[in-house]
Structure 1
Amino acid sequence: MAALAALAQESRLAVFRLLVQLGPEGMAATQIADRLGVSPSSMSFHLKELAHAQLVTVRREGRSMIYSANFDAMNALVGFLTENCCGGNVCTPVKACRPAKKTKA
């Protein structure tokens, strides 16, 4: 599966995580490179690999290329990973991925 291969590289995983956090608005390639401390030429390569794996979409806004996470592909990947998980039983995480936000009383 191309998506798993693409995400197996540390910089590409960091890019994808950032784009997921940003939501549909996405971010310009140059801003992603700055935020993650990756050279523009390396960022171009990583974004091309993520696009090839259909994990990101790209759109032009003026002179910038804006990259966004492809949430349909992400959900399909999660579905693929959990399809036969736990011997067919419903899987529940042992603990939440992130601590719950505390609310002010």
Structure 2
Amino acid sequence: MEEETVIASLAALAQPVRLRVFRALVVAGPAGLTPTALCERLGVAATTLSFHLKELTHAGLIDQEREGRHLIYRAVFAHMNALLSYLTEHCCAGQPCDEAACVPASPCSTC
């Protein structure tokens, strides 16, 4: 993953409503959610939600598909996994992390 893509993705998630939308779509899984369902679950106005969906789509974190008269939004799990891989690529000097050694109370020397 390119650094510019990582920055765009993290910037998109660095806003409370967008983070909540993305988390809701991750939880929904492959079935995704309609904008109406997202508005109801998150208590966000439709116009506000539309803006945030556009930002998440431009960052590559979500996509949309038309099913009949409805738009279905889904998290792009491949993009999410690539972002997580980028962020953890050099954790523990490239070795598998011992989670107990990398907790904030006692981080390993390379985390």
Q: TM-score, normalised by structure 2?
A: 0.79
Correspondence list, 1:1-12, <5 A: 1-12=7-18
Residue of 72, 87, 91 corresponding to 2:93 = 87
Distance (Å, rounded) in 2 between the aligned partners of 1:3 and 1:39: 23
The structure carrying a bigger helix percent of its residues is 2
**Structure 2: gaps of 5 or more residues:** 1-6, 101-111
Amino acid at match of 2:59: A
How many residue pairs get matched? Answer: 94
Match of 1:99 in 2: none
Q: By how many angstroms is 1:62 displaced?
A: 1.6
**Structure 1: gaps of 5 or more residues:** 95-105
- Mapped pair 1:62 → 2:95: no
Distance (Å, rounded) in 1 between the aligned partners of 2:93 and 2:79: 24
Pairwise CA RMSD: 1.1
Q: CA distance change for structure 1 residues 10 and 60 in 2, over 3 Å: closer, same or farther? A: same
Identity across aligned pairs (percent)?
54
Structure 1 moving runs of 4+ over 6 Å: none
Correspondence list, 1:18-97, <5 A: 18-94=24-100
Q: By how many angstroms is 1:34 displaced?
A: 1.2
Q: TM-score, normalised by structure 1?
A: 0.84
**Structure 1, residues 19-73: CA drift from partner, whole Å, max 9, x if none?**
1111011010111011100000010000000000010010011221110000000
